[in-house]
Amino acid sequence: MSRSNAGWIALRPGFARLGRHLHRGAAAYGVLLIALLLTLLASYYVCQNVEAEARTRFDETTQATKAAIYRRVNVYLAAMFGARGVLLGSDSVEQDEWDDYVRSIEPGARRNGLRKAQSLEGLQSLGFATYLRPGERESYSRAVREEGVRDLWPEPDGERSAYFPLKFVGPSYEANRKMINYDVYSDPAHRSVMDRARDTAAPQATGMDYVLTNAPPDSAADLVLRKGFVVYLPVYQEGEPRGTVAERRRALRGFVVGTFKADELFAHTFGRTFHPAIDFEVYDTENEASSSLLYDNNGVKDAGEKGDAALFYAERRLRVIGTHSGTREWTLYFATLPAFERGARSNLPAFVLVSGIAVSLLLFGITWMLARSRTQAFRASADLKEANLELEQANTELQRSREGLISAREEERRRLRRDLHDGVGPQLAALMLELETASDLVSDNPEASALMAKLSERAREIVSDVRHSVHALRPPALDELGLVEALREGAMQYGPAGLRVSVEDPEGLSQLPAAVEVACYRIVQEALANVVRHARASHCSIRIRLDEEARALNVEIEDDGRGIRDDDRAGVGMSSMRERTEELGGRCIVKPLAGGGTLVKALLPFRTTEDGPAVRSE
C-alpha cells in the first residue's frame, strides 16, 4: 500500500464525520449565511443613510448661503435705488441731504424705522458721480476750488469725452472724504462697467477691486486698501426719453456709486447662523483657480487645492448685480472642515453590524438546536412506535395530571382572588385614606401637596389594577351567585342589544369542580358575544345538563340567527371555546341548524376524588 493511499484512508473517517456534521447542520449554516448577508446589507444601508443625512445638511447650508447672499444683494440694490430717488426728487441735491440719506442706511442705523437686520454691513461708501462733458469740466473745477474742495483727480492725460467726479460721498469717513471729486471714469476697468450700466439702464458691478478704507485701530497706517467691488446705478434726466441706447446716453445725469468691502459684506450676511465647520469662499469669476478671491471665512484657500480631501464640497454660481447678460458671475465654493467630518461620523453602522452578527450567531445556535432536536425526534419516533402501549398509559397519566393542574390552577386562583380581595384590597384602601390625610396636612406646601396628589393617583391606579387582576383570576359572580345565576346575570347585559336570552334551571350543579364551572361560564360568555356580533339573532337559549353516567356537563347554546356560512372562518372566540373543552378532555361542536340559527355544544368531563381520570369523548 502506497503512502498516499494510507494517508487517504486515515483521513476518510474525518471527512465522513465532517460530511455528517454539515448534513445535520445544513439548515443552521444556511440561516447563518442569510443572516450575515442581511446584516451586511443593513449596515451598508445605515451607513448610506448617515452619509446622506450629512450631505443633506451640507447642501441645505450651501443653498441657504446662496439665498442669503442673494437677499443681501437685493438690500444693497434697494438702498442704491433709494439714493437715485433722492436725486430724482430734487433738481439740486445738497451735500447735507445726501449725508442725511446715507446716515439713515449706514450699518447699525435705526432711523426711519430701519431694522437692524436691514442695516448695510459691508457698505464702505455711497456716492454720486456727476456727468461732466468736456465743456463743463473747467466750470466745475472752478466751483469746487472756490468751495475749498479738492479739484477733480486724477489729472487726465488728455481730453476725454466724459468725466464722472464723485460729487457726493458718504458716510463722512476720512477714507471717503479722500475720494471726493475722484474721476471714477478714469479707470478703464470701471469705465467699461459704467458704459454697460449706462447703455442697459441697469446696475452693473465691477470685478474684484481694492477699496480705500479707514485702517483698523491696531494698524500703524491711517488708511488701507481692502478687497471689495463697486456697483454703478445710472441716473437719467427726469422726463427725457430712454427707449434706445442713444437716448439713454443723451439723458445720462450720472451714477449712484456703491463701494463695498467684501470681507464685511459676506461675514455679516449670516451673523452667527453659518455652520462653523464648513469653509466658504467667494471668487470673482467662474474659474476659482484663476480668478480673484473676494472672501474666505477661515483665511485658508481650499478651492482647487483640497479636492477630494474634503468629505463634501460644492460650487454654486451666483449672478452679480446687473449681469443678466451673463458677463460676470460669482463662484461660491463650500468644503467641509475636519470638525464637520467628525460630527458626521456615526457609530450606528458599526452598532448595526455588531448587533447583526450577534443576532446571526444567536439564530445559528437556535437553528442548530432545533435541527439537533429534530434529528433526535426522528430517532425517538422508532422507539415511540414500539412503545405505543406505554404511550397510551402515559397519555392517561398526562390527562390525569392535566386535570389536576387545571383544578389546582382554578383553586389557586380562587385562593388568590380571596387573598387579594380580603387582604391587599383593604390595605390599599387604607393606604389611600392615609395619603389623602397626609395631603391635607401638607396642603400649605405646594411641592409636597403635588407629590401627595401624585401618590394618591398612583394608589388609585394600583387599586384598579388589583381589581382587574381579581376579576381576571376567576369571575366573581361564580362565587357570589353560583353558575346558573352568574350566567343569567351575564345574559342580562345583552338585552339592550335586542337579544333575549333564556337559561334553563337544572339541578345538582352545586358540586361541580371549579375548573368545570369556569370553563362553562367562559364558553357561554364567548358564545353569546359571537351571537351578538355575527348572528343577528333575536333569541338565544342556554341549556345545561349534568350527565351522571358519563361524568360530564353538557352545555348547549342555540340561537335563531343567520347561521354559519361556508365562507365564514373560525375566529379567536371559536378557538378559545375549543381550547377550554380540550383542557378538560372534552370536545366542542359548532354547527348550523336546518331551520336557521347556530348550535354550540360543549361536553365538559369531570371527576370526583374517588373517580379515575375523565375519558375524552370521541
Rounded CA-CA distance 270/267 in Å is: 7
Confidence grade of residue 609 (pLDDT, cut at 50, 70, 90): very low
How many Cα atoms are found within 13 Å in the side-chain-facing hemisphere of 371? 18
Q: Is residue 406 one of the residues assigned to a domain?
A: yes
Q: Is residue 236 one of the residues assigned to a domain?
A: yes
pLDDT single digits (tens) 207-262: 888 898 888 888 788 888 888 889 999 999 988 999 999 999 999 999 999 999 88
- 308 and 209 co-located in one domain: yes
Whether 117 shows a pLDDT value over 60: the answer reads no
In whole numbers, what is the pLDDT of the chain averaged over residues? Answer: 80
What is the CATH number for 289? 3.30.450.350
Per the model's pLDDT, the better-predicted residue between 9 and 207 turns out to be: 207
- 445 and 306 co-located in one domain: no
Q: Which residues contact 351 (CB under 8 A, 6 or more apart)?
A: none
User: What CA–CA distances, in Å, run from 44 to 36, 39, 359, 473, 610?
Assistant: 12, 8, 17, 50, 69
- 199 and 233 co-located in one domain: yes
User: What CA–CA distances, in Å, run from 590 to 46, 174, 214, 489, 578?
Assistant: 52, 104, 100, 24, 10
Q: Please give the grid coordinates belonging to residue 341.
A: 467630518
Rounded CA-CA distance 226/263 in Å is: 8
Confidence grade of residue 110 (pLDDT, cut at 50, 70, 90): very low
Per the model's pLDDT, the better-predicted residue between 476 and 298 turns out to be: 476
- 304 and 416 co-located in one domain: no
492 and 531 in contact (C-beta within 8 Å)?
A: no
- 470 and 485 co-located in one domain: no
Q: Report which residue type is found at 356.
A: G
Q: Is residue 459 one of the residues assigned to a domain?
A: yes
Q: Is the peptide bond before 513 cis (omega within 30 degrees of 0)?
A: no
Residue 76 pLDDT = 84
Domain final residue pick, 342, 357, 384? 342
Q: Which residues pair with 335 in a beta bridge?
A: 279, 313
Domain final residue pick, 291, 323, 342? 342
- 137 and 165 co-located in one domain: yes
Q: Is residue 592 one of the residues assigned to a domain?
A: yes
Q: What is the CA radius of gyration of the chain?
A: 48
pLDDT single digits (tens) 86-105: 998 877 888 888 988 988 88
What is the CATH number for 560? 3.30.565.10
Residue 249 pLDDT = 93
Are β-strands 166-170 and 204-205 bridged in parallel, bridged antiparallel, or unpaired?
A: unpaired
Rounded CA-CA distance 51/312 in Å is: 10
Rounded CA-CA distance 505/469 in Å is: 30
Q: Is residue 584 one of the residues assigned to a domain?
A: yes
Q: Is residue 532 one of the residues assigned to a domain?
A: yes
- Residues 224-234 as b/e (b if ≥16 CB within 10 A, e otherwise) read eebbbbbbbbb
Q: Is residue 52 one of the residues assigned to a domain?
A: no
- 182 and 272 co-located in one domain: yes
Residue 616 pLDDT = 41
Mean pLDDT confidence for 278-285:
81
- 486 and 455 co-located in one domain: no
Q: Is residue 204 one of the residues assigned to a domain?
A: yes
Specify whether the backbone of 148 is left (phi greater than 0), alpha (psi in -120 to 50) or beta.
left
Domain final residue pick, 326, 342, 358? 342
Per the model's pLDDT, the better-predicted residue between 45 and 470 turns out to be: 45
- 318 and 195 co-located in one domain: yes
Whether 549 shows a pLDDT value over 90: the answer reads no
Q: Which residues contact 535 (CB under 8 A, 6 or more apart)?
A: 559, 561, 562, 563, 597, 598
Residue 483 pLDDT = 82
Per the model's pLDDT, the better-predicted residue between 204 and 442 turns out to be: 204
For 557, the domain range is 481-605
The beta strand positions in 193-277, using DSSP E, are 204-205, 209-214, 223-236, 252-261
Identify the weakest region by mean pLDDT among 40-44, 233-237, 381-385, 581-585.
381-385
3-state secondary structure of 612: coil
Are β-strands 539-547 and 500-503 bridged in parallel, bridged antiparallel, or unpaired?
A: parallel
Rounded CA-CA distance 578/573 in Å is: 9
- 412 and 497 co-located in one domain: no
Domain count for the chain: 3
336 and 302 in contact (C-beta within 8 Å)?
A: no
3-state secondary structure of 605: strand
Query: DSSP label at 153?
Result: B
CB-based burial of residue 579 (10 Å sphere; 0-12 exposed, 13-18 middle, 19+ buried)? exposed
- 268 and 409 co-located in one domain: no
Confidence grade of residue 364 (pLDDT, cut at 50, 70, 90): confident
- 232 and 305 co-located in one domain: yes
Q: What would the DSSP string read from start to end of 158-173?
A: S--S-B-BEEEEES--
Per the model's pLDDT, the better-predicted residue between 180 and 574 turns out to be: 180
Residue 534 pLDDT = 84
Mean pLDDT confidence for 146-164:
85
Mean pLDDT confidence for 565-586:
82
Element spanning 589, H or E? strand 587-592
Residue 615 pLDDT = 41
Rounded CA-CA distance 551/545 in Å is: 11
